[in-house]
């Protein structure tokens, strides 16, 4: 009896709470393959270069030229340097630099979202592969109980206590469990191939992370989709200012230097020239108002989009909270069932010792108790998947 209690407690602890023993409190990006991580690193570097290019877009290039002319009397060569650089664009230069920074923030958040999404997919597959392993163990225990039931009914049919239809039902139930096992094996194989296409190793080589629930305010404040929407507002705002400045007065510094190189010895005059000055320009375009209004509308759309995203993310969080609550309730029911099987086992063992029950009766209850312990573990892993969904959206 004491041995049975010890075994029962050990089964409950080992099958229900192994995450507490072998997990880690964060999701490691190294679950992704090196090539996948390299792609994100290249995207991040590319974003930096793109942003740096945008910051310099208002700076015009210096034009260098060289030409050589062949004549009947003499040959000549000419080199020139031309500069035409805007130094005032009615706020457009400032807006262009700010637009570059906003674009960098937007792309950086988008890359982080993509990376988190891929990590989430990999870890979700990791959890689901472990859930399938547990379902296989659960169905193996169900099959043991079903086969015991088949043997019992077979004896009762042979002794005339039961009809063959009852035995046939038990056999069909056992076959159904066997088919379930075959399905789980196939699902595991298929999911494992998907996992290996993005992961850096076999699923058994990774520890399962333990994630905790994030506060709703933190979820909203650190939400990557919301941060991306906010970055988009800044981006559209500065681009709107850039568009407006494009149709306002612009002041440029212009300079050029021409150098003539003597080729013929009889040429004595020097025609070098130097010119510099300021120019003011303002385009008159019939499309000006339409273009400015179009960018204003893009800006207003981005602000409205932020409100929509905030509502969607808040509801997403609450949906996940509801699912987690449901899984916690199922865990409590499974714990209650486990305790019930525990008390029943004590009675059955006593009756077996009194030769009122058989070993198969004990085995069935013990297997059923193990099944409840496995279900507890499955519910916990399913809860972790829901927490993973929340984690994947947080910066």
pLDDT, tens digit, for every residue of 227-275? 999 999 999 999 999 888 888 888 888 888 888 776 555 554 556 778 8
What is residue 222's DSSP assignment?
A: T
- Residues 308-321: pLDDT tens digits? 999 999 999 999 99
Per-residue confidence (pLDDT) for residue 264, from 0 to 100: 55
Map residue 70 onto helix, strand or coil. strand
Element (H, E) at 230: helix 224-246
Per-residue confidence (pLDDT) for residue 3, from 0 to 100: 45
Which residues are CB-neighbours of 125 under 8 A, at least 6 positions away? 191, 194, 195, 199, 203
Dist CA 312 CA 210 (whole Å): 26
Please provide the DSSP assignment of 113-157 as one string: HHHHHHHHHHHHHHHHHHHHHHHHHHHHHHHHHHHHHHHHHHHHH
Residue 287 main-chain phi, psi, to 5 deg: -95, 0
Record the tokens describing residue 362, joined without a space.
């004990």
Q: pTM for the whole thing?
A: 0.84
- Residues 64-96: pLDDT tens digits? 888 887 766 667 788 889 888 887 777 788 889
**Is the pLDDT at 177 greater than 50, yes or no?**
yes
Cα–chain-centroid distance for residue 86? 43
**Is the pLDDT at 8 greater than 60, yes or no?**
no
3-state helix, strand, coil in the chain (%, to 5): 70, 15, 20
Under 8 Å between Cβ of 241 and 299: no
Under 8 Å between Cβ of 383 and 324: yes
Map residue 266 onto helix, strand or coil. coil
**Is the pLDDT at 131 greater than 50, yes or no?**
yes
Per-residue confidence (pLDDT) for residue 147, from 0 to 100: 95
**Is the pLDDT at 44 greater than 60, yes or no?**
yes
First to last CA, the chain: 53
Per-residue confidence (pLDDT) for residue 271, from 0 to 100: 67
DSSP E strand stretches across the chain: 63-70, 75-88, 250-262, 273-281
- In which band, very low, low, confident or very high, does the pLDDT at 20 lie, cut at 50, 70 and 90? very low
β pairing state of 75-88 and 63-70: antiparallel
Which residues are CB-neighbours of 310 under 8 A, at least 6 positions away? 220, 226, 229
Per-residue confidence (pLDDT) for residue 185, from 0 to 100: 97
Q: What is the crossing angle of helices 92-158 and 224-246, to 10°?
A: 150
The residue assigned the tokens 């850096």 is 200
**Is the pLDDT at 23 greater than 50, yes or no?**
no
Dist CA 41 CA 51 (whole Å): 16
- Structural domains in the chain, sorted by start: 2-31+113-247+287-391 (1.20.1600.10)
């Amino acid at each position: 009896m004491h041995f049975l209690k010890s075994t029962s407690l050990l089964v409950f602890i080992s099958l229900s709470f192994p995450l507490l023993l072998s997990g880690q409190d964060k999701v490691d990006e190294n679950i992704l393959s090196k090539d996948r991580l390299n792609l994100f690193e290249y995207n991040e570097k590319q974003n930096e270069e793109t942003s740096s290019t945008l910051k310099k877009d208002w700076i015009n290039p210096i034009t260098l030229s060289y030409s050589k002319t062949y004549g009947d009397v003499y040959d000549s060569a000419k080199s020139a340097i031309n500069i035409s650089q805007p130094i005032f664009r009615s706020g457009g230069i400032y807006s262009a630099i700010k637009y570059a920074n906003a674009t960098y923030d937007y792309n950086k958040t988008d890359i982080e979202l993509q990376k988190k999404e891929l990590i989430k997919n990999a870890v979700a597959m990791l959890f689901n592969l472990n859930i399938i392993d547990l379902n296989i163990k659960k169905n193996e225990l169900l099959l043991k109980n079903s086969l015991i039931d088949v043997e019992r009914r077979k004896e009762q049919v042979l002794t005339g206590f039961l009809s063959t239809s009852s035995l046939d039902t038990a056999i069909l139930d056992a076959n159904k469990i066997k088919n379930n096992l075959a399905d789980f094996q196939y699902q595991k194989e298929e999911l494992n191939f998907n996992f290996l296409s993005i992961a850096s190793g076999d699923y058994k080589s990774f520890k399962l992370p333990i994630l905790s629930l994030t506060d709703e305010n933190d979820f909203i404040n650190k939400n990557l989709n919301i941060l991306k929407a906010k970055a988009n507002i800044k981006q559209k705002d500065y681009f709107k200012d850039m568009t407006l400045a494009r149709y306002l007065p612009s002041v440029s510094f212009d300079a050029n230097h021409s150098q003539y190189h003597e080729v013929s010895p009889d040429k004595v005059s020097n025609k070098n020239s130097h010119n510099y000055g300021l120019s003011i320009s303002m385009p008159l375009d019939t499309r000006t108002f339409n273009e400015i209004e179009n960018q204003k509308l893009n800006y207003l759309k981005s602000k409205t989009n932020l409100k929509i995203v905030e509502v969607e993310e808040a509801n997403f969080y609450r949906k996940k909270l509801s699912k987690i609550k449901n899984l916690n309730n199922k865990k409590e029911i499974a714990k209650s069932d486990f305790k019930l099987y525990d008390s029943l086992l004590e009675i059955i063992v006593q009756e077996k010792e009194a030769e009122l029950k058989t070993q198969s009766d004990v085995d069935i209850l013990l297997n059923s108790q193990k099944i409840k312990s496995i279900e507890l573990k499955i519910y916990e892993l399913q809860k972790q998947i829901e927490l993973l969904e929340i984690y994947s959206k947080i910066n």
